[in-house]
Structure 1
Amino acid sequence: MARLHEYQGKAILAANGFKIPRGRPASSADEAIAVAKEFAADKKAAEVVIKIQAWTTGRAGIGGVAFAKKPADVRGHAARMLAMKVGQFPVEAVLVEEKIPIEREFFLSFAIDDAARAPVIIFAAGGGTGIEERAASARRIPCDVNRGPLDSVVAEAVSSCGLSSPHAKQLAESIRKLFAAARSVEARSLEINPLVLTKDGQFVAADCRITIDDYAVARHPELGIEIAREFDHPPTALERVAYAVEQSDHRGTFYFAQLATAAAKDSKGLVGFHGAGGGGSMMSMDAIVSAEFTIANFTDTSGNPSASKVYRAARIILAQPDLVGYFGSGSGVASQEQYWSAYGLAKAFWELDLDIPAVIRLGGNTEDRAVDILRRMSELLRAPVEGYRKTDCPAMIAARFAELVAGADGNKWKPRAPRVPKFVKDPSATMLLVKSGRVWIDTAKWSQIRRAVETHSGGLIVDRPAAMGPVAALASEEFANKDSELLACDVECRLAGIEGFYLELDVPGLEELLGGAR
């Protein structure tokens, strides 16, 4: 889930009618003092609270919340907090707010109840720290996905709080606004803790936490969410590249997370890991760890991914230095056509001139064809690539992988730019656009390779005498979405020793990251 900081969440609450304390984020001690001085001009709001902006609970317990009565006192608190780390995340901002006079506290939380397949609001007449211990006193308010919380249940919950009629009306309205705020950004959860009743009779959202549904992030660019992932560390440059690939191609799933950049002590080396399906991937990771390797990354391409997506995943995995091998293994019972994954891997391995061993288990539909593609490509590479089926257990192929690595004499992978045929980008070459890439055909060789290209492309590219060369057999938009079929054509031509056809697929940001190394 994508998480928002408190100040971002409060902006959403304010846009949906909630009152929030005056304040704003600061990324330096000087900025924090400037905010405090603004409040000091109003003697009624001289005291401020400074809070770290971090995805954690219990901020006060780690020194992440402090009060200051004078602007001069703010500097020390802000400087100390901005030097903190929460887990592996550095604190990059603090929120400086006016201190509000609290009369009572309440707890409000919106969430998606997976069991009921419906939204629910949790309400408690008492907020702040320790709410978990008071969970038994909380009320569940069912919500209609379109109309929001049920009025009768809201009224019953509010009536138990002993509030005056005007305050009870405000509280009931706050509960309804919570649903509206969550729905406005497609939140998976939205918690206000505490919602406070101030001494002057106003309900104010004193703190909040919001998570946005991963699949909704693309529909809400206004939130400025860079990556809809819950990493335990700030996103790496390679993770940013991978996330951009996922967002640009929704055919199947691609998840990439870096885990280690150096092998553990007494390890046999760093391994690029490529899974397919959660459960099978976990079992395969256990097998490779039991074989005494260190996993450099977790990658999952499942849900019937395109060959192009698998190709890009392999390119990203192989952008990591010092790997001793490439280990791919998934569920073994996948319904997706495994030959598409095999084509994607084969293209990446050839382009990068793979010189470390690879063991790939592609169990499921068309697994025999997938294994054969990898076997044939292995003959063109400097290192062995072995394909396995669903009947080959992860522990067995992990043991085989260890044998291949041991026979590689300590060779470690050096990331490099892909090798590209000389005719690519030549003015005389034919270029056809596909999704995030281009087909290149050596026009001078067209008469020699025409039959093979027409066959291996499934008739997507044909000869048109009037055009004096190859053309797409489909309208441009339809042809552009045939990138996987054209990738297969690229690989089959390569395996047949046919030069003159090449599919160029972009991986935005990757070449810049590698610096064009070869």
Structure 2
Amino acid sequence: MDLYEHQARELFEAHGIVVPRAGITDSPERAREIARALGGRAVVKAQVRTGGRGRAGGVCVAADPPAAEEAARHILGMDIKGHTVGTVMLAEPCDVEREFYVSYVLDRAAGRFVAVASAEGGTEIEQVAAERPEAVARIPVDPAAGVNTATAVRIADAAGLPPQTVDTLVRLWQVLVREDALLVEVNPLARTADGRIVALDGKVTLDDNARFRHPGRGDAHATGSDPLEVRAAAKGLNYVRLDGEVGVVGNGAGLVMSTLDAVAGRGARPANFLDIGGGASARVMADGLAVVLSDPGVKSVLVNIFGGITACDAVADGIVRALDEVRLTKPLVVRLDGNNAARGRALLDARAHPLVEQATTMDGAAHRAARLATAASTAA
């Protein structure tokens, strides 16, 4: 469950982390009243579960209440990466002296959490890490020991954060543990001119498996979810939308994750995670392809199947039947391996759809799907 910024902010405040005064609304007129209550000036921020709000025009500083109303009117209803803005948050501006980045994230491969911190907040941390990796510190955290004051001091020292951030680092860990979170991120964490440490923005992802421990929270978090994710969930599909151009379908979470890496290794960006599981029936395949192809950002689709309990010829039959139900408008690359792979490939060859081609290896399929996506993007 990804939270909206205002929900993350509420969690921070409940755990003693300083946040700016703020209010949320779905009304431009109410935005004027909130700005007035905040002292006149306000930062108006779109509430959507995706990044890039600022670049899309979803964040602006309003000089007075009328400007806040106008900004809210402009932002409400805006489409940001497929997310329609239904509410805005108005926050009190802060006199920022310096900005930092801090987060705790689950490292599944290592079986532990990692603290990621940098003295250069307020910017795209991925870009900082790529251009100057030495500016971003990654400190493993033992989940049994957690983050106490001594550990927080070590994190702050490694990242070049001032001592005033130590208490906030401890409290952010408490948010992570007590709220069953997989990710807690603050960017920026700011030091104001009067010496306060303030969380100016926040991102929190809660563990869906712990939903039963947070009764009543799930419905609120579902509101405004990505429309394709909602559509996929309604059909029982394990789908997560990403920011890329190659749609990915596979059977098994591990195989899908490996496929995402293979696509990225070929210079393209995966557009989604879609695990159709072991029973890749025609119905499941048709539903999956329909969801993936509905993403306007998708330029090609890669179906990567390893036949185990479910044989490849059954999967191929599902793809063939799906092609009779779904209008294929983008190239589809299929890789079948494992149980009855030869029969599956023969079924697809017999169907002979002009936009469907096959590859014998995952790397080969990823390479071809990436090239097709790049060609389509260039032609557009």
Q: TM-score range by the shorter chain?
A: 0.5 to 0.7
In the aligned structure 1, how far is the partner of 2:254 from the partner of 2:141? 33
Give the C-alpha shift of residue 238 in structure 1: 4.3
Give the C-alpha shift of residue 18 in structure 1: 0.9
**Equivalence for 1:390:** 341
Task: After superposition, give the CA deviation of every residue in 1:256-315 in whole Å (9 maximum; x if it has no partner).
Answer: 689xxxxxxxxxxxxxx9964469899xxxxxxxxxxxxxx9974425x6xxx9698489
Q: Tell whether 2:76 aligns with 1:82.
A: yes
Give the C-alpha shift of residue 113 in structure 1: 2.4
**Equivalence for 1:331:** 305
Q: Tell whether 2:139 aligns with 1:141.
A: yes
User: Which one of 186, 211, 218 corresponds to residue 224 of structure 1?
Assistant: 218
Give secondary structure in 2 for the equivalent of 1:183: helix
Identity of aligned residues (%): 29
Q: Which amino acid is 2:27 matched to?
A: S
Give the C-alpha shift of residue 101 in structure 1: 2.2
Give the C-alpha shift of residue 107 in structure 1: 1.6
User: Which one of 175, 180, 186 corresponds to residue 181 of structure 1?
Assistant: 175
Q: Which amino acid is 1:191 matched to?
A: E
Give the C-alpha shift of residue 6 in structure 1: 0.9
* Gap regions ≥5 residues in structure 2: 242-247, 258-271, 292-302, 327-334, 354-380
TM-score by length of 1: 0.49
Give secondary structure in 1 for the equivalent of 2:38: helix
Q: Which amino acid is 2:146 matched to?
A: G
**Equivalence for 2:45:** 51
Contact 2:307/2:336, CA 8 A, preserved across alignment? no
In the aligned structure 1, how far is the partner of 2:273 from the partner of 2:186? 34
Contact 2:83/2:227, CA 8 A, preserved across alignment? yes
**Equivalence for 2:92:** 98
Contact 1:301/1:310, CA 8 A, preserved across alignment? no
Contact 2:2/2:221, CA 8 A, preserved across alignment? no
User: Which one of 398, 401, 406 corresponds to residue 351 of structure 2?
Assistant: 401
In the aligned structure 2, how far is the partner of 1:31 from the partner of 1:238? 32
Cα 1:23/1:331, change in 2 over 3 Å = same
Task: After superposition, give the CA deviation of every residue in 1:159-211 in whole Å (9 maximum; x if it has no partner).
Answer: 68585xxxx3x421111111111222332222101112223332211111222
**Equivalence for 1:446:** none
Give secondary structure in 1 for the equivalent of 2:17: coil
* Structure of greater relative contact order (alpha carbons < 8 Å, 6+ residues apart): 2
Q: Which amino acid is 1:255 matched to?
A: N
Give the C-alpha shift of residue 118 in structure 1: 0.8
In the aligned structure 1, how far is the partner of 2:152 from the partner of 2:230? 47
**Equivalence for 2:368:** none
Give the C-alpha shift of residue 223 in structure 1: 3.5
Give secondary structure in 1 for the equivalent of 2:66: helix
Q: Tell whether 2:210 aligns with 1:212.
A: no
Task: After superposition, give the CA deviation of every residue in 1:397-422 in whole Å (9 maximum; x if it has no partner).
Answer: 2122348xxxxxxxxxxxxxxxxxxx
User: Which one of 229, 234, 253 corresponds to residue 227 of structure 2?
Assistant: 234
Cα 1:74/1:216, change in 2 over 3 Å = same
In the aligned structure 1, how far is the partner of 2:177 from the partner of 2:89? 25
Task: After superposition, give the CA deviation of every residue in 1:3-36 in whole Å (9 maximum; x if it has no partner).
Answer: 2221111112112221111112222212211211
In the aligned structure 2, how far is the partner of 1:279 from the partner of 1:207? 32
Cα 1:278/1:57, change in 2 over 3 Å = closer
* Gap regions ≥5 residues in structure 1: 41-45, 244-253, 259-272, 283-296, 321-328, 366-388, 404-518
**Equivalence for 2:277:** 302
Q: Which amino acid is 1:38 matched to?
A: A
Provide the aligned length of Structure 1 versus Structure 2.
309
**Equivalence for 1:154:** 152
Give the structure with higher Rg (CA). Answer: 1
In the aligned structure 2, how far is the partner of 1:187 from the partner of 1:298? 20
TM-score by length of 2: 0.64
Contact 1:47/1:98, CA 8 A, preserved across alignment? yes
Cα 1:280/1:110, change in 2 over 3 Å = closer
Contact 1:141/1:150, CA 8 A, preserved across alignment? no
Contact 1:59/1:65, CA 8 A, preserved across alignment? yes
**Equivalence for 1:463:** none
In the aligned structure 2, how far is the partner of 1:206 from the partner of 1:189? 17
Give secondary structure in 2 for the equivalent of 1:7: helix
